[in-house]
Structure 1
């Protein structure tokens, strides 16, 4: 006969273990992506999302290209490929999302970055974010940012009450550079958002700096993906099949443990609280004597003639050599002869720039600035103060993956992540 006391003690022990390590319910998720733009890693991440769609309550797939030619049609094209592969996938998992439903939640957001104020006009995408955030639910809406923040900033501007209903995991870095004005608007006006700002850790997923036993990103296509359905055939188009997937850590984060605790270890990284977003204001061009942390807001204010420019008009540009090309960043007229521009450098470097404009007082001005490799760096009086729920890449030097701050918090999980995905690719063979 079983001992009822022992059975009771066993059940109580199991309950305590479960309470300490709660299994989260399937998270509500909206993706904001610049897929179809200049960086095809979003296509790789979209393939991953579709193949793991059973793990999420997907509520939105929003095209938000702050730069480049991203569009909703590219999301729909990926869904078409997924639909062709679905019969094979469903033999192993019948809970994968239905293509018709996925198409119904695809929305077009803003194309191009916002002006200096950080927002401009509602879009189908920003309005969908608001609609999803306002749904009655015991869960928050997780907004995973794979591109610019324009639609998220617009949604917050138009319906500020949703700030308590959403949680954001944003892949910053280059996206932050393109989306400087919308980022500044959010940091200044919504400092109490639950916001995980990932400026560098995500690089750890596809870096080759860490010498540990892990699946090699370079041969993963040939050993795992090749011959795996329509999604597998399409995957070869992006970086010749080499794994990048810089946006996928946002998915890994929700797949592994309690997402309400960003300081925990997880497939999608481990993060620390930051209480300020660095912002430096200069009333003239800078020189090599000036330095900022990477991903800091550099705001330059210049004097010129009074003008009839509107706040949305680009009236000068900052030109920065980038490889064999020149990147151009827009500057705006504020009022009363004052012009301003925001720029956010994505990495440590010595930066040189020149201003071009039809305004003689601005045209031809040159400058330089030194960008350092520790975010968020030194505090300044002009920083944006942040609340108690803003997290970013861990600054511990031991967690750097080469030059990548916080990179080891993700790179150490690469083998587990790719081996798990390999099981699903095999369903298509």
Structure 2
């Protein structure tokens, strides 16, 4: 083999594994539930700030549809970043200033939206509109790490921004909490450019790793421990185990052309889908009924006419989370004796539930439902939300499953590259 052939072979081999360059710094806005019940957002925020030289970050919005997330936690993470910034700047230019980042941190809605899917404007939703209306040749990418409430509110208040934004949303459990806002967006903005990731992201912290893959539980001791203020803080989340489920949205923007979701990238590879499953039941279900996980279930129940405002919560769906925890979901009065609730199951299981209410006709109804592990599933329903040509989701082929994780292999294959690249930046924070 001559020298030219050897060089060509080496270049091709590198191109199979190397990160693909992003030609234009993407405009991004983060919508996060950081500070709530799941600290993976803190891990992802550390990752974002340590790579802030790669992005034009235009907003950091606190959008917790569940839990106690708040803007103060975003500001606390920026304070840590400020302390470690001098070491990062020794190696790269273009890191965003802490004062700038503080100026774009905004408080959004705390808590999920009622049945209609939106409520009233927040500082966060107004900021989304302001950023989306900026004159730019590039779209504003909204990376959703939490609820959809502020995005839905922004679209409701300024529907014209639909053409200026693109959304990469970590769904799954977030979709369960944001059922009403998701339904509002799918029903009213089917032509929105939207990547709905309900499962692939799990593989960034999958336990189904190949033997030679970096173990998430080992990563802290090998690469993070002793790495500045971020490193010390990281130990507070899952005892340092890497579980940053929102980071695939950033990885997607770091690797190749984000305008092509079907490409291979660190943040996953996705396929188009044209319908979002919406199944309407007029009574409780049984084990004869089955739906795909992450489908919208609507229960429409009849009861007495009440002199209460429409869209008022007046009954609850109780779902056992574990033996010590029962989650409660609000159902609403729609008027004229009609009651309804939207619920989105996040995983394959036998779903057990019951309705409770001071309204005797609703109280005590119980049901079961089989949840399948294929999204969006093979069934079509006349009540489905019809989507436009730019809605994408996890790849459905069995070849891409990582164990039970649909589409997981599209991220798992890059896990070592992702974590070793981040390890370089952690090493900068260990320098004297």
For normalisation by structure 1, the TM-score amounts to: 0.94
Q: Deviations over 1:361-382 (max 9, x none)?
A: 0011101100000000111111
Alpha-carbon distance in structure 2 between the residues aligned to 1:102 and 1:131: 16
Deviation at 1:94, TM superposition (A): 2.8
Deviation at 1:309, TM superposition (A): 2.2
Deviation at 1:93, TM superposition (A): 1.7
Aligned to 2:403: 402
Alpha-carbon distance in structure 2 between the residues aligned to 1:146 and 1:22: 24
Q: Deviations over 1:368-416 (max 9, x none)?
A: 1000000001111110000000000000101100000000000110100
SS at match of 2:60: strand
Deviation at 1:212, TM superposition (A): 4.9
- Asked if 1 retains the 8 angstrom alpha-carbon contact of 2:147 and 2:177, the reply is yes
Deviation at 1:30, TM superposition (A): 0.2
Aligned to 1:138: 137
Aligned to 1:347: 347
Q: Deviations over 1:119-150 (max 9, x none)?
A: 01000000000000000000000000000000
Alpha-carbon distance in structure 2 between the residues aligned to 1:370 and 1:396: 21
Alpha-carbon distance in structure 1 between the residues aligned to 2:21 and 2:420: 24
Calculate the aligned-residue CA RMSD, in Å.
1.1
With over 3 angstroms needed to count, the CA separation of the structure-2 counterparts of 1:127 and 1:312, relative to structure 1, is: same
Alpha-carbon distance in structure 2 between the residues aligned to 1:396 and 1:179: 27
Aligned to 2:368: 368
User: Where does structure 1 lack aligned partners over 5 or more consecutive residues?
Assistant: 1-20
Aligned to 1:95: 94
Q: Deviations over 1:295-314 (max 9, x none)?
A: 00000011111112223421
Aligned to 1:160: 159
Alpha-carbon distance in structure 2 between the residues aligned to 1:98 and 1:312: 44
- Asked if 2 retains the 8 angstrom alpha-carbon contact of 1:116 and 1:311, the reply is no
User: Where does structure 2 lack aligned partners over 5 or more consecutive residues?
Assistant: 1-19
Alpha-carbon distance in structure 1 between the residues aligned to 2:95 and 2:308: 51
- Asked if 1 retains the 8 angstrom alpha-carbon contact of 2:21 and 2:255, the reply is no
Aligned to 1:254: 253
Deviation at 1:215, TM superposition (A): 1.3
SS at match of 1:257: coil
Deviation at 1:293, TM superposition (A): 0.1
Aligned to 1:412: 413
SS at match of 1:427: helix
Aligned to 1:170: 169
Alpha-carbon distance in structure 1 between the residues aligned to 2:156 and 2:310: 17
Alignment of 1:41-190 (within 5 A): 41-190=40-189
Deviation at 1:210, TM superposition (A): 3.4
Q: Deviations over 1:22-80 (max 9, x none)?
A: 84300000000000001000000000000000000000000000000000000000000
Q: How many residues align?
A: 410
SS at match of 2:156: helix
Alpha-carbon distance in structure 2 between the residues aligned to 1:237 and 1:304: 49
Aligned to 2:302: 303
Alpha-carbon distance in structure 2 between the residues aligned to 1:312 and 1:71: 26
Alpha-carbon distance in structure 2 between the residues aligned to 1:123 and 1:361: 37
- Asked if 2 retains the 8 angstrom alpha-carbon contact of 1:399 and 1:409, the reply is yes
Alpha-carbon distance in structure 1 between the residues aligned to 2:237 and 2:248: 18
Q: Deviations over 1:265-324 (max 9, x none)?
A: 000000000000000000111111110000000000111111122234210100011112
Aligned to 1:337: 337
Deviation at 1:109, TM superposition (A): 0.3
Aligned to 1:15: none
Q: Which deviates the most, 87-96 or 367-376?
A: 87-96
Alpha-carbon distance in structure 1 between the residues aligned to 2:278 and 2:25: 37
With over 3 angstroms needed to count, the CA separation of the structure-2 counterparts of 1:72 and 1:312, relative to structure 1, is: farther
Alpha-carbon distance in structure 2 between the residues aligned to 1:197 and 1:309: 36
Aligned to 1:8: none
Alpha-carbon distance in structure 2 between the residues aligned to 1:177 and 1:279: 13
Aligned to 1:389: 390
Deviation at 1:92, TM superposition (A): 1.2
Deviation at 1:327, TM superposition (A): 0.4
SS at match of 1:116: coil
- Asked if 2 retains the 8 angstrom alpha-carbon contact of 1:210 and 1:401, the reply is no
Aligned to 1:234: 233
Q: Which deviates the most, 56-65 or 79-88?
A: 79-88
